Structure 1
Amino acid sequence: MRIENFETFLIDLPAIRPHRLANQVVTTQTLVILRLTTSDGVVGVGEATTIGGLSYGVEAPETIKAALDVYIRPLIVGLDLPPAVLRKKVALQIMGNNLAKSALDTAILDIESKILDVPAHLLLGGAIRDRLEVIWGLATGNAAQDIEEAEEMLASGRHRHFKIKVGAASVHDDVARVAKIASALGDRASLRIDANRSWTEIEARDAIVRLADAGVSLVEQPVDTDPDGSALRRLTAWSPIPIMADESVASGKEALALTRHKACDLFALKIGKFGGPSQVRDVAAIASAGGIGVYGGTLLEGTIGTLAAAHAFAALPDAFPFHTELFGPLLLKDDITTAGPAYDDFGLVLPTDAGLGVTIDGDKLDFYRRDRTTRQHRVATPVATIS
């Protein structure tokens, strides 16, 4: 496979409402889009997305684009190499930068499966599920607004599981807000919370007891990361409800360490954290071998990243007991594709077209790219099909 053209774009898309995390409020999401074209004219697309610049990890959209343009591009353009060799070459010569590698891995996967005229998941082992149940993130920071939003999702049949973002307020206020939401929704919905590593271990112990009493079923990354996951390990051994690692598991090595010490009950899988859809399988295998559950996480990707994750998650053999968070496109007012993911019966329907099943809309790409000097007014259009 010879890559002849290598293009990257910073795309800024507005959110439908502020999305409040423990350390960031997302009102605009930046996608790093990679478009590869082979010598035979086959186009593959990839996406790298993070949350809040450098607030989630060590890569920001601007550094991702620079890594792709300055360091990765020269390693692969013009060379006639098998996809596996291209991936290995980049892995050996580029340290870290997993989000940038994820965009590349996704674009190569898109090309490979288009050449073979098969859906991308077939190159990841083959899908064992044709749809993935999708939860919704309640992140307005206001209990009344969160309840109203959840009621709308339940009434429309779009979501019945919710994750509440906490950490921006005091532990007392956060727990009180979660309890109000839980009381209002009752047994019509399941709830989990994400503290984005904002609590101390003492605060987490106090909060988890009260959250469990309120009916919360899962706590994600309650405390900060540490090399051996000791704080998570102590909380997991003690907690009456499951504890999930997210920021603490950003590589296969970290997954192995957490598994060895039984430092959590679940891993939040995100293709960007691990370097792409191909690498998610390796981390999931470590989890499975160690008796750790898996959860389909998100970095609020757009359509390209969301469908790449869907293909990877659909092919994993273990179940997703707490489902997935592939709602990124639904949080955005618009997108740069001709058609977003299809959502039906509380879940995302896996595409059956060759490749990822996504096509870039050139006009939208040109409109939302950051380096565009002039913009004309346009009306945002729905990014996802909901039936």
Structure 2
Amino acid sequence: MSDRAGAPLDGLTTEAGLREVWARLGKCGVLTELYHHVDGERRLRAEPLRALLAALDSRGRTGVTLAVCVQVASVLPLLDAGAAGSPVVASLLDRALAGEQLVALAVTDAGAPGSDLAALDTTLETDGDMVTVTGAKRWITNATGCDYFLTLARHRPGRHFTSFAWILVPARAAGVEVAAAPTPLFAGSGTGEVRFDRVRLSTAHLVGRPGRALASFARHITRERFAGAVWTVALLRRALTDTRASLTGRNSDGAPLWSMDLLRHRCASAVVEIRLLNALTYEVEQQILNGYDAAAAALVKTAAARTAESVLTACASLQGADGYLPGAAQQLRAEAAVFGIGGGTVDLMLSDIAEHAEALLAQVQR
């Protein structure tokens, strides 16, 4: 699968945009092969996912990899879960898997902290066979280039988990306004903000039953957290490989920097950290991909965020001034902070880990 994951990208320049990359992946069947059907649902397969994220990361465009990761780990499974009995959702899912449509996951609300989904104030009002969507979302990956927004909205008052629903909002619908996020990072991700000014849609655009949106999100976000950790391994491996090459190619007093034990040991420590994170992703993959284990997902996400910070800090120091070049360690370090924020902050993950500490410890050495 590794060769097949990268083959569709052959011939594309590193500047190729998300839509072109997504179309190639869909046309060549890579997106379909990411999943298998178990108990009537579409589940991610670990090895094809690893191969795809490694192939994407090798191109050096974190924004495009981020945009693909969100879609394959969260958007497509969520659409699949809500496709039964909905021709609109089922049709969009087929077109997305074919690489013909891009869907943004519009969860983070402009009117509430991103970590407090129950406080969001984007609303969905039902009137017969029509719905009206009002509100705003921010820091949405794929926002500026998507065809649809898979939007989490409140369908009734209150913080109860049954108060929310998913709705597909066409990006070109009347009342939809999109703007790029004011950041120089994640080029190619299409990250932006979207406002819904009383957008009128038919109830056919609902995804799944109203009241089950938060439950489905909690279930499927575990896969995105796992995918983020898998991508972290690929990104750190690339960064450390580049750092080692830099050390072997630069001299001090006529000898390569790589000959200095202090620098070699810092690289060696980073190798150990990357290998430990990689081993953890293999340990928990079935718990998460087949069992939706939230504690295991919190564990691997936290480990990924911490490992990324540690390894990229070392790479940035070892690369020196060259670390400030485009795509080098300093930029990667800033962009990799998303591993500790997107899909749930590390502080939230630690709360989940603490809640399940006894069970997680019981699994050690089993």
Q: For the superposition of Structure 1 and Structure 2, which TM-score range results when normalised by the shorter chain?
A: under 0.3
- Give the TM-score taking structure 2 as reference length: 0.23
User: Whose RCO is larger (CA < 8 A, sep 6+)?
Assistant: 1
Larger Rg: 2
- Structure with the higher fraction of residues in helix conformation: 2
